[in-house]
Amino acid sequence: MRQAARPASRVTRAPRAERAVRTPRAPRTRGVVKPLRNVVILAMVGGLVATVALPAYAAWNPESEALTIEQVAAENAQSLVVASDVVTTDLSRSSYAATTAEEVATKKAAEAAAARAAAASKSRSTSSAAVLSSVDLSLVAPGSGEVRWPLDMSQIKIGRGLSGAHDGVDLLGSAGTPEFAAAAGTVRTATWFGGYGNGVIIDHVINGVTVSTLYGHMSQILVSPGQSVSAGQIIGLMGSTGNSTANHLHFEVRINGGLVDPMAWLYSNAG
């Protein structure tokens, strides 16, 4: 009797281990990173250039917080802040001059003559009381014509007279009024000198006595140094040059170098 066939044994295979799930690879970024890096480098270079080119304070101070130099100095006592007080000036043709060597020499000669005249006038100045007490003012007969008034007195007002700080008399009139030589003589000075402005000094010899007359503040001088003039000759026009506040003739008289009262001298000799 056959034995019953044994059933074939099934070999049960163990289930395969599940395959590991592959993680998807990240997409390649090399092509993106390189342009981005170039942009960053360019931005850094641009910032460096801007920082160097701008003033140090402008790199961090917003415009709305800009400070004056006085505020900067007050906040930081260790700082030296220098401000210039120079102001702008419009230039014009009258603000400068170009001269030749001859013009410069002429100007220097005129200035030297003015300085000598001012020094001589100052050295001769004395008190009127001392001079009047020792000098006879009457040199010629009044009305003889040898001594004349330096102006047409019909239109003239007599102003400030001789005093300790004023060496003559002021005869006030209109600008351009003719001024005359008080006597015949020789022009010593005819130029601008000091506070007299445009002035003339004439040396005279009257009856053997040395006399000098001075005419100040002229608007125009009509004679020149060394020129001989006659009594009553026009020597200039009235003005207000030099230390003056109105049109007038400042008139001085000296006898033998001593200052005398010009009005008393005129009354004594011109009449």
* Helices marked H in the chain: 30-53, 69-75, 101-124, 128-132, 262-269
CATH superfamily of 111-269: Glucose Permease (Domain IIA) (2.70.70.10)
Rounded Cα–Cα distance for residues 211 and 202 (Å): 8
| Position with higher pLDDT, 165 vs 195 | 195
User: Which pair of tokens denotes residue 238?
Assistant: 């009235």
pLDDT one-digit tens code per residue, 216-236: 999 999 999 999 999 999 999
pLDDT score of 136 = 87
Q: What is the pLDDT of residues 111-161, one digit of tens each?
A: 777 777 666 555 544 444 434 436 889 999 999 999 999 999 998 999 888
| pLDDT score of 39 | 75
Is it the case that residue 77 has pLDDT exceeding 90? no
98 pLDDT higher than 50:
yes
Is residue 79 predicted with pLDDT exceeding 80?
no
Comparing 240 with 165, the larger pLDDT belongs to 240
**For the chain, which residues make up each domain, given as ranges?**
111-269
